[in-house]
Chain A
Amino acid sequence: MSDKHAVTLNVNGKDYRIQVEPRRTLADALRDDCGLTGTHIGCEHGVCGACTVLVDDRPVRSCLMFAVQVEGARVRTVEGLAKGEELHPLQKAFWEKHGLQCGFCTPGFLMLATGILEAEPDISDEDLRDVLSSNLCRCTGYQNIIKAVCAAASEMRACQPSASL
Chain B
Amino acid sequence: MSWIGRSLPRLEDPSLLKGQGRFVADLAQGAAAVKFVRSPLAAGAILGIEKPDDGLVFTADDLVGVKGIRPLLHRPDYVPVSQPVLAKDRVVFCGQAVAAVVAEDQGLAEDLAEQVFVDIEPEDAVVDFAQALGEGARPVHPEAPGNVLVEGNIRTPGFDAAFASAAEVVALELRSGRQTAMPLEARGGVARFDPLTGRVTLYASVQMPHMLRTGIADVLGFPESDLRVVAPDVGGGFGQKMALFPEYVVLVWLARHLRRDVAWLEDRRENFLAAAHSRDQVFQVRGAFAADGTLLALEADLKSNVGAFSCYPVTCGVEPLMGLAELPGPYRFSEYAARSRGVTTNTCMMAPYRGVARPMLTLTMERMMDVAARRLGIDPVEIRRRNLIETFPHRSPTGLVYDEGSYGETMELAVKALDLPAFRRQQAEARSAGRYLGAGFSVFSERTGYGTPAYAARGMDIVPGYELVNLAMDPSGFVEARIGASPHGQGLKTSLAQLISDELGVLPSKVRVIAGDTDATPYGWGTFASRSMVISGGACKIAAGKVAERLKSIAAAMMHVEPEAIRLADDLAYAEATNQTVPIGEVARAAYHQSHRYPQVGPGLQEQALYDPAGTFSNACHACIVEVDVETGGVKIRRFVVAEDAGVLINPMIVDGQIHGGVAQGIANALFEELVYDEAGNLLTASLADYLPPTIAEMPSIEIEHLVTYSEATITRAKGVGEGGTIGAPAAVINAIVDALSPFGIDLFEIPATPQRIRDLIRNAERTHHV
Q: B10 to A98, Cβ gap below 8 A?
A: yes
The SS class assigned to the A binding surface is: loop
Interface flags for B405-416 (1: CB within 8 Å of A; 0: not) read 000000000000
Chain A residues with Cβ below 8 Å from B186 are: 42
Q: B19 to A39, Cβ gap below 8 A?
A: yes
Of residues 680 through 702 on chain B, the ones whose CB sits less than 8 Å from some CB of chain A are 687-689, 693, 695-697, 699, 701-702
Asked if B671 CB lies within 8 Å of chain A CBs, one says no
Asked if B660 CB lies within 8 Å of chain A CBs, one says yes
Asked if A69 CB lies within 8 Å of chain B CBs, one says no
Question: Which of B19, B29, B185 touches A78 (beta carbons < 8 Å)?
Answer: B19
How distant is B650 from chain A, measured CB to nearest CB, in Å?
Answer: 14
Q: B107 to A21, Cβ gap below 8 A?
A: yes
Asked if A7 CB lies within 8 Å of chain B CBs, one says no
Bound Cα distance from A138 to B693, whole angstroms: 8
Of residues 550 through 593 on chain B, the ones whose CB sits less than 8 Å from some CB of chain A are none
Contacts A44-B268, A45-B268, A138-B183 given; indicate if A95 touches B236 (C-beta within 8 A). Answer: no
Question: Which of A47, A132, A138 touches B236 (beta carbons < 8 Å)?
Answer: A138
Contacts A136-B695, A141-B699, A142-B664 given; indicate if A40 touches B23 (C-beta within 8 A). Answer: yes
Question: Which of A103, A110, A138 touches B21 (beta carbons < 8 Å)?
Answer: A103
Chain B residues with Cβ below 8 Å from A78 are: 18-19
Asked if A79 CB lies within 8 Å of chain B CBs, one says yes
Asked if B433 CB lies within 8 Å of chain A CBs, one says no
Contacts A37-B25, A141-B699 given; indicate if A47 touches B688 (C-beta within 8 A). Answer: yes
How distant is A5 from chain B, measured CB to nearest CB, in Å?
Answer: 14
Q: B235 to A47, Cβ gap below 8 A?
A: no
Asked if B309 CB lies within 8 Å of chain A CBs, one says no
Chain A residues with Cβ below 8 Å from B749 are: none
Of residues 86 through 117 on chain A, the ones whose CB sits less than 8 Å from some CB of chain B are 87, 91, 94-96, 98, 100-107, 110
Asked if B654 CB lies within 8 Å of chain A CBs, one says yes
Q: A98 to B184, Cβ gap below 8 A?
A: no
Bound Cα distance from A82 to B20, whole angstroms: 12
Q: A95 to B14, Cβ gap below 8 A?
A: yes
Of residues 632 through 682 on chain B, the ones whose CB sits less than 8 Å from some CB of chain A are 653-654, 656-657, 660-665
Find the B residue at minimum CB distance from A105.
B184
Bound Cα distance from A107 to B184, whole angstroms: 12
Chain A residues with Cβ below 8 Å from B688 are: 43, 45, 47-48, 136
Chain B residues with Cβ below 8 Å from A38 are: 18-21
Q: B16 to A106, Cβ gap below 8 A?
A: yes
Q: Considering residues A23, A140, A142, which has the most beta carbons from chain B within 10 angstroms of its beta carbon?
A: A142
Interface flags for A120-152 (1: CB within 8 Å of B; 0: not) read 000000000110111111111111111000000
Find the B residue at minimum CB distance from A111.
B19
Question: Which of A44, A102, A145 touches B488 (beta carbons < 8 Å)?
Answer: A102
Asked if A50 CB lies within 8 Å of chain B CBs, one says yes
Of residues 25 through 44 on chain B, the ones whose CB sits less than 8 Å from some CB of chain A are 25-26, 29
Find the A residue at minimum CB distance from B687.
A45
Find the A residue at minimum CB distance from B691.
A47
Question: Which of A48, A132, A141 touches B702 (beta carbons < 8 Å)?
Answer: A141
How distant is B110 from chain A, measured CB to nearest CB, in Å?
Answer: 10
How distant is B664 from chain A, measured CB to nearest CB, in Å?
Answer: 3
Q: A36 to B14, Cβ gap below 8 A?
A: no
Contacts A45-B688, A81-B18, A82-B18 given; indicate if A98 touches B654 (C-beta within 8 A). Answer: yes
Asked if A1 CB lies within 8 Å of chain B CBs, one says yes
Bound Cα distance from A110 to B547, whole angstroms: 41
Question: Which of B17, B233, B661 touches A140 (beta carbons < 8 Å)?
Answer: B661
Q: A144 to B660, Cβ gap below 8 A?
A: yes
Bound Cα distance from A79 to B665, whole angstroms: 30
How distant is B745 from chain A, measured CB to nearest CB, in Å?
Answer: 33
Chain A residues with Cβ below 8 Å from B665 are: 138, 141
Q: A139 to B18, Cβ gap below 8 A?
A: no
Question: Which of A42, A98, A141, A143 touches B268 (beta carbons < 8 Å)?
Answer: A42
Asked if A41 CB lies within 8 Å of chain B CBs, one says yes
Q: Count residues on chain A whose CB falls below 8 Å from chain B CBs.
A: 58
Bound Cα distance from A140 to B688, whole angstroms: 18
Asked if B238 CB lies within 8 Å of chain A CBs, one says yes
Asked if B760 CB lies within 8 Å of chain A CBs, one says no
Interface flags for B255-283 (1: CB within 8 Å of A; 0: not) read 00000000000011000000000000000
Asked if A62 CB lies within 8 Å of chain B CBs, one says no
Question: Which of A23, A41, A129 touches B697 (beta carbons < 8 Å)?
Answer: A129
Chain B residues with Cβ below 8 Å from A129 are: 696-697
Question: Which of A94, A102, A144, A145 touches B17 (beta carbons < 8 Å)?
Answer: A94
Asked if B491 CB lies within 8 Å of chain A CBs, one says yes
Q: B107 to A23, Cβ gap below 8 A?
A: yes
Asked if B396 CB lies within 8 Å of chain A CBs, one says no
Asked if A52 CB lies within 8 Å of chain B CBs, one says no
Chain A residues with Cβ below 8 Å from B123 are: none
Find the A residue at minimum CB distance from B659.
A141
Bound Cα distance from A144 to B267, whole angstroms: 28
Contacts A39-B19, A45-B268, A104-B236 given; indicate if A136 touches B9 (C-beta within 8 A). Answer: no
Chain B residues with Cβ below 8 Å from A96 are: 9
Bound Cα distance from A133 to B9, whole angstroms: 25
Find the B residue at minimum CB distance from A80.
B19
How distant is A8 from chain B, measured CB to nearest CB, in Å?
Answer: 21
Q: B268 to A43, Cβ gap below 8 A?
A: yes
Find the A residue at minimum CB distance from B693.
A136
Q: B696 to A107, Cβ gap below 8 A?
A: no
Chain B residues with Cβ below 8 Å from A137 are: 184
Q: A103 to B696, Cβ gap below 8 A?
A: no
How distant is B509 from chain A, measured CB to nearest CB, in Å?
Answer: 14
Bound Cα distance from A107 to B21, whole angstroms: 10
Chain A residues with Cβ below 8 Å from B664 are: 140-142
Asked if B382 CB lies within 8 Å of chain A CBs, one says no
Residues of B within 8 A of A (CB): 7, 9-10, 12-14, 16-21, 23, 25-26, 29, 105-108, 111, 182-186, 233-236, 238, 267-268, 488-491, 653-654, 656-657, 660-665, 687-689, 693, 695-697, 699, 701-702, 725
15 contacts between A and B (CB under 8 A): A37-B25, A42-B186, A43-B268, A48-B184, A78-B18, A94-B17, A98-B653, A101-B657, A102-B236, A103-B489, A104-B233, A136-B184, A138-B665, A144-B657, A145-B696
Q: Closest 9 A-B residue pairs measured CB to CB?
A: A38-B19, A102-B489, A104-B235, A103-B16, A141-B664, A78-B19, A141-B660, A47-B688, A133-B697
Given A41-B25, A79-B18, A138-B183, list of 13 further CB < 8 A pairs? A21-B107, A31-B25, A32-B105, A38-B18, A38-B19, A40-B25, A78-B19, A98-B654, A103-B17, A104-B185, A107-B19, A138-B693, A140-B664
